[in-house]
Amino acid sequence: MTKPSIDFYFDLISPFAYIGSTQIEALAARHGRTVTWKPVLLGVTVLKIMGMKPLPQYPLKGPYLAHDMARLAKIWGVPLHPHSVQGHNSLNAMRAFVWLDARDPDAAKAFARAIFRRLWVDGLDMTPVEACVEEAQRLGLDAAALADGIASQEAREGLRVGVERAIANGVFGAPFVIADGEPFFGCDHFWMLEQWLRDGAWMAPPA
């Protein structure tokens, strides 16, 4: 019997989601699991619902997170370069993901990976539709259709509903994994996720 897929929640704006995205498929595969990528928007969960600032803006925690992301990338061998893009957001790219995901989840994952690399390896902005189109073209996807998709009511609604579902499932940050109902926040918890997938349920999922 096939084991259930695990859910990987990400926002393309999050460097830790990028780092996590490079590890999660292999981690899941080691335990006979596949991964379903699902959207969350930190601008909704962190800023609106939790009423926090973007975490990098906090004194003490901001510098720590910058150091932590660099060393995590080094430990796991993930290319990550500081970039100078400012004022960017992931809304178009996340809509593009949702629109692609409804048609071809593998293409949607490839697109998400390309956007992550665009910012953290190539230092290029992801904000405008043109950025999404460029990455789609490079992947051999129908870029014109994707541009229409990003502007579609389907993508807007799909992302809105997806983020609502994420919140209903208790997701507040990224990366955030839910496996068999059990929540794991952050790359920091991947060791615990791995233990969960290996040893089975050491604790009943939250009610």
Give me the residues that bind a copy of itself (CB under 8 A), please.
45, 49-52, 58-61, 63-64, 67-68, 70-72, 74-75, 167, 170-173, 183, 185-186, 188-189, 191-192, 195, 202-203, 206
| Residue nearer to a copy of itself on the CB measure, 42 or 150 | 42
| Residue nearer to a copy of itself on the CB measure, 1 or 60 | 60
* Min CB(159)–a copy of itself separation in Å: 18
Query: Closest by alpha carbon to 22, among 69, 91, 54?
Result: 69
Q: How many CB atoms lie within 10 A of CB 118?
A: 22
Q: 49 CB contacts (<8 Å, ≥6 apart)?
A: 167, 172
* Min CB(141)–a copy of itself separation in Å: 34
Please report where in the chains the tokens 């807007």 appear, as a residue: 156
Cβ contact 26:33 at 8 Å: no
Q: How many CB atoms lie within 10 A of CB 43?
A: 15
* Min CB(185)–a copy of itself separation in Å: 6
* Min CB(4)–a copy of itself separation in Å: 19
